[in-house]
């Protein structure tokens, strides 16, 4: 009986390891494109639990580690984005709230982040939960963040990308983010109700475009929690591509225990598991996003 040639036999695991090694080598030499002006992205999805904050954190770190000057604005009172980036955000810390009510400028409340030297973070404290009431009495209340960002760019004109982590509810905090943004960046879970949530978001964006920000559009869609072993994830990806072929990024983020663990250590996936498939996937998605933003600002 002839023995099996183990050295030349292939298994799904071996194929996956080979593909991961190839991707790692490709990304190690990748060069990130830079937009010619600051681009503001509102990271939003009106459906919760889709990986919105995780994507904000890891895309921001990937862009910054790729050489871009990045600002993250945590606009969710839960402050999960601040936690994941290792930024203190207890009561008493100057935060997004102080910038919105006019007590401080954005430049005064942003902090450097240990994840990358070119990454700055505007943290969110629980005080932000009262911002809706405070903003309601302000003139041009929907444009407070847009005005604050204009002032920030005067202090940091070399900024390339701003990512605003929005709360899942459609209140004044999200409306301010949409009014200030050039594009909406949409993380979307590869599951049955994905398109339903996307439809709700589209309706909101259309209303914002009509009344507050005519330039607003969905710039990029990122599939998250993708399990290639299931037919459902693949079908959801195909359906989103059918309706949004220009917006859907070519890289999907896989389900990953490491991704879930990272925030508990106050780090991104790039500090927690830098050579793993989740980090590689976020870096590849960020690389594609950077190319898109550079192209958009070149026109």
**CATH code of the domain covering residue 221:** 3.40.50.300
Q: Which of 238, 240, 229 is nearest to 194 (CA)?
A: 240
Residue 48 lies in a domain: yes
Residue 233 lies in a domain: yes
- Total domain count, the chain: 1
Q: What is the pLDDT of residue 59?
A: 98
Question: Residues with Cβ < 8 Å from 157, sequence gap 6 or more?
Answer: 38
How confident is the model over 178-201, as a mean pLDDT?
89
Mean pLDDT of 256-276: 93
The pLDDT assigned to 16 comes to: 64
In a domain, 290, yes or no: yes
Cα gap 115→108, rounded to integer Å: 20
Q: Which of 249, 253, 245 is nearest to 227 (CA)?
A: 253
Structural domain for 291, as ranges: 32-298
In whole angstroms, give the CA distance from residue 143 to residue 261: 36
Task: Give the whole-number percent of the chain exceeding pLDDT 90.
Answer: 70
Question: Is 226's pLDDT higher than 60?
Answer: yes
In a domain, 177, yes or no: yes
pLDDT at 13 over 50: yes
Mean pLDDT of 25-44: 91
**pLDDT value at residue 36:** 96
pLDDT at 1: 43
Q: Does residue 8 have a pLDDT over 60?
A: no
The rounded mean pLDDT for the chain is 90
**Residue 20 counted as domain residue:** no
What residues form DSSP beta bridges with 7? none
Q: Residue 99 falls within a domain, yes or no?
A: yes
Question: What region, left, alpha or beta, does residue 41 occupy, with left being phi > 0 and alpha being psi -120 to 50 degrees?
Answer: beta
Q: Is residue 11 part of a domain?
A: no
For the chain, how big is the Rg over CA atoms in Å?
A: 20
Reported confidence tier of residue 6, pLDDT bands at 50, 70, 90: very low
Positive or negative, the CA dihedral 11, 12, 15, 21 is: negative
pLDDT on residue 29? 79
Is the residue at 231 inside a domain?
A: yes
């Amino acid at each position: 009986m002839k023995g099996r040639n183990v050295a030349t036999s292939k298994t799904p695991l071996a194929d996956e390891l080979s593909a991961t090694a190839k991707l790692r080598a490709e990304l190690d030499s990748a060069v990130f494109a830079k937009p010619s002006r600051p681009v503001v992205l509102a990271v939003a999805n009106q459906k919760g639990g889709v990986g919105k904050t995780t994507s904000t954190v890891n895309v921001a770190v990937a862009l910054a580690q790729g050489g871009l000057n990045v600002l993250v604005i945590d606009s969710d009172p839960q402050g999960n984005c601040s936690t994941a980036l290792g930024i203190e955000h207890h009561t008493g810390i100057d935060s997004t709230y102080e910038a919105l009510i006019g007590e401080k400028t954005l430049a005064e409340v942003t902090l450097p982040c240990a994840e990358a030297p070119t990454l700055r973070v505007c943290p969110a404290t629980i005080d932000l939960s009262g911002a809706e009431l405070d903003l309601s009495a302000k003139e041009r209340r929907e444009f407070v963040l847009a005005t604050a960002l204009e002032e920030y760019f005067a202090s940091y004109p070399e900024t390339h990308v701003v990512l605003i982590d929005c709360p899942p509810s459609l209140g004044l905090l999200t409306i301010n983010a949409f009014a200030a943004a050039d594009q909406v960046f949409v993380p979307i879970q590869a599951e049955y109700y994905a398109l339903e949530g996307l439809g709700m978001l589209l309706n909101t964006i259309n209303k914002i475009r009509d009344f507050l920000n005519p330039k607003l559009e969905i710039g990029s869609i990122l599939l998250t929690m993708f399990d290639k072993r299931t037919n459902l994830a693949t079908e959801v990806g195909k359906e989103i591509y059918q309706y949004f072929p220009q917006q859907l990024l070519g890289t999907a983020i896989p389900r990953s225990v490491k991704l879930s663990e990272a925030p508990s250590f106050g780090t991104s996936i790039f500090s927690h598991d830098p050579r793993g498939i989740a980090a590689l996937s976020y870096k590849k998605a960020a690389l594609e996003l950077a190319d898109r933003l550079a192209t958009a600002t070149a026109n």
